[in-house]
Amino acid sequence: MAFEYGSDTLGIRNPFKFVGFVQAIRGLILTVLGVITLLSVSSLVQQGDKTSGWLSLLIGLLLLSQGVIALGSGLFKMMRFYVGRSVPASLAENVSPSEDSTREKYLHYQSQQLIQMLMGRKNLTFTEPKGWFARLILTLMPTLLFLPHLLRNKIQSLSGSLVYTLVGFLFFGLAWFSGSTGLTVITTTPVLDWLSLFLGLFLLIVWTTQSLGGQRKLNPTGPDSSLQDSGSKGVVWGITFSILTPVLLSYFHTEVTPLPKISFSTINYIITLTSLGVVVFGYSLLMTLLRAQKTDPKTEVSEFRENWQENVHPQDIFINFEDIIMANRRFKEIPNRVYRDFDPNLIEQGSDDKGKFSGEIIEETQPVFRPVEMSLLFKNLRIAGTVVGELLLLSAALMLYSGIHQITQISSAPMIALNAIIYPFLLWIFGRILAEVAFTFWSEMQYESLIVYFQCNGTYTESKISTGTSIHDSTRSENTIVRSSMTPWIVSAKIVTSSFATSGANNLEGYRSIMELHKAEQDLDKIVSELKDFMRNRETIANVKQKDLDSASSIYQVNKSTRSQNSLTPLLEEESLDLNASDRDY
């Protein structure tokens, strides 16, 4: 949906200003480093060192591109947060006539699911974990079940990367143990060194995939907002790789050709990678558990059921409920979200003057932004995660910039050049993961709204009543009265919903999930009271207004005066004739 301006705003501020500020500083520094590196290329070429010149050019372009992207993204996050009157996204398809021209893409539920949740006192958002590994995580940390899917997916993904790391170390340790105890002869061969190399590559691939896949998993408007499957398939592949690698290396060394010795050790890389992975996972787990402490996954609703017999047309009940009662509950006069519009079906039974009817309405008032109430520790850790993540990314760039000379000496000093490349890359991986995890907790937005489900079934009969049928009556009224015997069923709840904001045109249009349902007794009592007042104040027989009565009275007085004058005229004529006759007698 496009930005829809309204003078009365919703009071939602940009939550990414601090994140954008820190990111913009990093981008500015990287841009300067990239420009300085590119300016040094010409001097290297003039000295005849074309290889160093080409490497400096590539590194300078990398630093410059990353700096420009970070600077632009940071400034973009700091810019004005455009919030229209139609945000956030609806829970289901909004069928309100005022929103016919609006098409929302990211809907979490269907209208029937909302009815199912209200009538059944359940929350379909909290679904059963998918896969063996997801079940294990929720068994160890059951409160994670009540988190938004985006947070559950993130912690499951990071847990999977950590499990792959532990599995790799487990089978590397088993291989080393078998060699040290004499079960195998790999300790006297280069197999163990090659095994450590494959372990390092395996861990590098695992965490690089986690870093590159994080941005996609954090997309609140993408398909990954739904719950992901975290089964045992990936773990099985990791175990299979860890088991087969030492076996295949031993077989290749003894049966095919001896493996050459590796001139460098990967143990420092593995230790650095594993340490950073444990720190990032620990931070993510702590933030997730702190967020899970604030969950209140209640599924309570308020309900009203009664049987009424009133002289009212069934369709008038639904029209009054939607156009008067629910319209009175609008927030800042923003139209309510209508997920199922009234369509009372009148079914005749045997004749034209009796039948049955049924209809239902489900509406949600405009969601009101409610800041997520978190502890001071959570807020400080969120700031620290953003700062440390950006510092790791900046440190990676600074190490790469300072190691340009070592990288250009790759032919003469390959180990030094390798260190100058791998360590910045490791810092970049985990800085990116840490910054994205912190960004997730900055982007969560919560709203509060009233959702009402109204269902009414019953029967009706038609009869006619006539008044003023006497020959002396000047006014006559004929009315067709519809007598309805109905059972209204109203279910209402105060719901707390959660979505994740982004920067840009679709800032608040991500999937919105119901996290809590609370009773709304006061709202329900007012709704029932207004509905009863509507029934009580209806008029069955057509009435005449006082102005009409005054006009009729005036006309009556004129007619009466006219009739008096007409009755006096014959008498005057008769008296005149009598006088004339008396004159003739004389």
Higher confidence at residue 3 or residue 213?
A: 213
Q: What is the mean pLDDT of residues 556-585?
A: 56
Tell me, letter by letter, the H, E, C secondary structure of 424-479: HHHHHHHHHHHHHHHHHHHHEEEEEEEEEEEEEEEEEEEEEEEECCCCCCCCCEEE
Q: 50: which 2 tokens?
A: 């074309």
Burial label for 271, CB within 10 Å (0-12, 13-18, 19+), is: exposed
**Which DSSP category does 295 fall into?**
-
Collect contacts of 3-8 with beta carbons under 8 A, ≥24 apart: 3/82, 3/83, 3/84, 3/505, 4/84, 4/85, 4/86, 5/84, 5/85, 6/84, 6/85, 6/332, 6/334, 8/85, 8/332, 8/333
Q: What is the pLDDT of residue 210?
A: 87
- pLDDT-derived band at 580 (thresholds 50, 70, 90) equals low
Structure-model confidence comparison of residues 457 and 48, the more confident one: 457
Higher-pLDDT residue of 392, 41: 392
- Per-residue pLDDT, averaged over 376-394, amounts to 94
Type of residue found at 124: L
Question: Three-state SS for 541?
Answer: coil
Residue at token pair 């493996």 = 259
Nearest C-alpha neighbor of 155 from the set 19, 293, 286: 286
pLDDT for residue 549: 56
Residue 509 pLDDT exceeds 60: yes
pLDDT at 10: 72
Q: How many CB atoms lie within 10 A of CB 71?
A: 19
> Among 107-116, 414-423, 544-553, which is the least confidently predicted range?
544-553
Mean pLDDT of 247-266: 73
Q: Using pLDDT thresholds of 50, 70 and 90, give the confidence band for residue 121.
A: very high
Most trustworthy range by pLDDT among 151-165, 344-358, 425-439: 425-439
Which of 41-45, 298-302, 473-477 is the least confident region?
A: 473-477
Share above pLDDT 70 across residues of the chain, in percent, rounded to a whole number: 76
In the prediction, which pLDDT does 216 show? Answer: 43
Q: Tell me, what's the pLDDT at 427?
A: 94
pTM over 0.75: yes
290 vs 262 pLDDT, higher one: 290
Q: For the chain, how long is the longest CA-to-CA vector?
A: 173
Residues 6+ apart with CB under 8 A from 354: 348, 459, 460, 461, 462
Average pLDDT over residues 202-207: 88
- Three-state DSSP at 481 gives strand
CB within 8 Å of 433: residues ≥ 6 apart: 158, 207, 210, 211, 214, 280, 389
Q: What is the pLDDT of residue 218?
A: 43
Q: Over the Cα atoms of the chain, what is R_g?
A: 40
Q: Phi/psi of residue 231, each to 5°?
A: -95, -165
What pLDDT, on a 0 to 100 scale, did the predictor assign at position 136?
Answer: 84
Q: What is the pLDDT of residue 557?
A: 66
So what's the pLDDT on residue 13? 84
3-class state of residue 189 by DSSP: coil
d(CA 52, CA 50): 5
Nearest Cα to Cα of residue 427 among 384, 392, 469: 392
- Tell me the per-residue pLDDT of 171-185, one tens digit each, with 9 for 90 and over: 777 766 665 555 555
Residue 303 corresponds to which tokens in the numbers above? 């309900």
DSSP 8-state symbol, 312: -
Mean pLDDT of 145-153: 90
Contact 106, 87 (CB under 8 A): no
How much is the average pLDDT of 20-24?
Answer: 94
| Residue 354, φ and ψ in degrees, nearest 5 | -155, 160
Backbone conformation region of residue 182, classed left if phi is above 0, alpha if psi is from -120 to 50, else beta: left
- What percentage of the chain exceeds 90 in pLDDT? 31
Q: Which residue has the higher pLDDT, 7 or 111?
A: 111
